[in-house]
Structure 1
Amino acid sequence: MSSQKLFALLLSLATVQMAFSGDSDILTDFLLPPKVTQVDSNFFTFTRMRALVGAPLPTNFTVTTASLPEFPALNGQSVSYAILQFPAGTSSPLHTHPRSGELLFLVKGHLTVGFVDTTDKLFVQKLQKGDMFLFPKGLVHFQYSSGKTIATAISAFGSVNPGTESLPNTLFTTGIDDTILAKSFKTNIATIKRLKAGLAPRT
Structure 2
Amino acid sequence: MAILVAFSSVGVIYASDPDILTDFVVPAGQNPLNLTGNFFTFTGFRDVGNNNLTGQTAVKVTKAVAAEFPALNGLGVSMAVLQFPVGGLNPPHTHPRASELLYLVDGTLLVGVVDTTGKLFTQTLISGDLFVFPKGLLHYQLNTDAAFEALAVSAFGSANAGTVSVPSTLFTTGIPDDVLAKSFNTNTQTIELLKAGLKSP
Amino acid of the structure 1 residue aligned with 2:133: F
Residue among 31, 34, 50 paired with 1:37 = 31
Q: After superposing the two structures, state which structure 1 stretch, 87-96 or 157-166, moved more.
A: 87-96
Residue among 16, 19, 22 paired with 1:25 = 19
Partners of 2:30 and 2:90 lie apart in 1 by: 37
- Equivalent residues in 2 for 1:83-94 (5 A)? 83-94=81-92
Partners of 1:166 and 1:118 lie apart in 2 by: 17
Partners of 1:200 and 1:162 lie apart in 2 by: 21
- Equivalent residues in 2 for 1:56-135 (5 A)? 56-57=52-53, 59=56, 60-135=58-133
Partners of 1:88 and 1:154 lie apart in 2 by: 17
SS class of match (2:15): coil
SS class of match (1:49): coil
Indicate the structure (1 or 2) with the bigger Cα radius of gyration.
1
SS class of match (1:70): coil
Partners of 2:48 and 2:82 lie apart in 1 by: 11
The residue number in structure 1 matching 2:149 is 150
Contact 2:49-2:83 within 8 A present in 1 as well = no
The residue number in structure 1 matching 2:6 is 12
SS class of match (2:90): coil
Contact 2:100-2:155 within 8 A present in 1 as well = yes
**Structure 1 vs Structure 2 CA RMSD:** 1.3
Aligned length: 195
SS class of match (1:82): strand
Identity of aligned residues (%): 54
Partners of 1:54 and 1:178 lie apart in 2 by: 42
The TM-score, its normalising length taken from structure 1, stands at 0.92
Which has a greater percent of helix? 1
Structure 1 residue 37: deviation in Å? 1.4
Structure 1 residue 10: deviation in Å? 3.1
Tell me the alpha carbon deviations over residues 77-107 of structure 1, each in whole angstroms, 9 at most, x when there is no partner.
0000000011111110110000001000000
The residue number in structure 2 matching 1:184 is 183
Q: Do residues 172 (structure 1) and 200 (structure 2) align?
A: no
Structure 1 residue 168: deviation in Å? 0.7
Amino acid of the structure 1 residue aligned with 2:185: K
Contact 2:49-2:151 within 8 A present in 1 as well = no
